Amino acid sequence: MNIPNTLTVMRVALSVVAALLVCAGFKYAASASFVIFVIAGSTDWFDGYLARKMNVVTNLGKFMDALCDKIMVIGFFMVLLGLGLYGEGYMKFAIFCAFFSSAREFFVSGIRMLAAAQGIVLAAEKLGKYKAALQMYSIGAIICAHAVNTDFAAPGHWMYYFAFYSGIATLAVSTVLSIISGAGYGVRYRHLLRG
Summarize pLDDT for 114-151 with one digit per residue, the tens.
888 888 777 677 888 899 999 999 999 999 999 999 99
Summarize pLDDT for 66-105 with one digit per residue, the tens.
788 889 999 999 999 999 999 989 999 999 999 999 999 9
Per the prediction, the chain carries an average pLDDT of 90
For residue 159, give the CATH number of its domain.
Answer: 1.20.120
**Selection from 1, 126, 102 nearest residue 51 by Cα:** 1
With contact defined as beta carbons under 8 Å apart, do 164 and 138 qualify? Answer: no
Burial environment of residue 187 by CB neighbours within 10 A (0 to 12, 13 to 18, 19 or more):
exposed
- Please state the pTM of the whole predicted model: 0.91
If one counts the domains in the chain, the total is 1
Q: Please determine, for residue 166, whether its predicted confidence score (pLDDT) is greater than 90.
A: yes
What's the Cα-to-Cα distance from 104 to each of 70, 93, 122, 127, rounded to whole Å?
10, 17, 15, 13
* Domain hosting residue 177, numbered range: 3-194
Question: How much of the chain exceeds pLDDT 70, in percent?
Answer: 97
Residue 195 confidence (pLDDT): 61
Q: Please spell the DSSP secondary structure of 16-84, one letter per residue.
A: HHHHHHHH--STTHHHHHHHHHHHHHHHHHHHHHHHHHTT---HHHHHHHHHHHHHHHHHHHHHHHHTT
Flag the least confident range among 42-56, 98-112, 156-170: 42-56
Question: CA torsion sign, 10 to 13 to 19 to 23?
Answer: negative
Amino acid at 112: R
Burial environment of residue 125 by CB neighbours within 10 A (0 to 12, 13 to 18, 19 or more):
middle
State mean pLDDT over 150-171.
92
